[in-house]
Amino acid sequence: MKTGVSLTAYNHTENGVGSYIVTLTDGTSVEAGYLAPGEGGGGETCCLSIPSVWNPGMKATISMHILKNGKPIRVEKIVSVPRYNSSDAGRFVVHFLHDGSLKVFVTKYSLGHRKYPLSGKEAELEPGVPLEIIWE
């Protein structure tokens, strides 16, 4: 069984993300557009069908066009999808992190919520600017 979720992302890097495509192990995919440095979460793209029940070894391939020094660079990375509960499945979220790595989550919470799965320095959209918890 599948559940439809929205796709959103946060760009924690110093470079723009021109566009990105998320493809799950079963071939389901969705594409989203530009993310400026230090931005994200404000828009959602419909829809990505994910398994209603998390599967061990679940992975996502993220293909992206990064704008570095004004030049597009294509990058593709495969990341593990952490365990999620069907009751938490609201959005599939991609984080383009400061160190160049990626993390993904299936969650109903937004960045800045106490229960959001990313916190601390890793969650900062601008290096050195702590993320404020705005939802309990």
CATH number at residue 55: 2.60.40
Are 64 and 20 spatial neighbours (Cβ–Cβ below 8 Å)? yes
- Residue 136, domain member (yes or no): no
Q: Which amino acid is at 9?
A: A
* Per-residue pLDDT at 79: 98
pTM, two decimals, is: 0.90
- Residue 134, domain member (yes or no): no
- Residue 119, domain member (yes or no): yes
65 three-class SS: strand
Range of the domain at 89: 2-123
16, 62, 81, 120 from 54: Cα distances, Å: 31, 18, 9, 26
* Per-residue pLDDT at 43: 74
List average pLDDT for each run of 10 residues in the chain, which is 136 residues long. Answer: 94 89 94 90 84 95 86 92 93 94 95 88 82 66
Give me the number of domains the chain comprises: 1
* Per-residue pLDDT at 124: 86
Q: What is the end-to-end Cα distance of the chain in Å, rounded? A: 32
* Per-residue pLDDT at 96: 95
Phi, psi for residue 88 in degrees, rounded to 5:
-95, -5
Radius of gyration of the chain (CA): 14
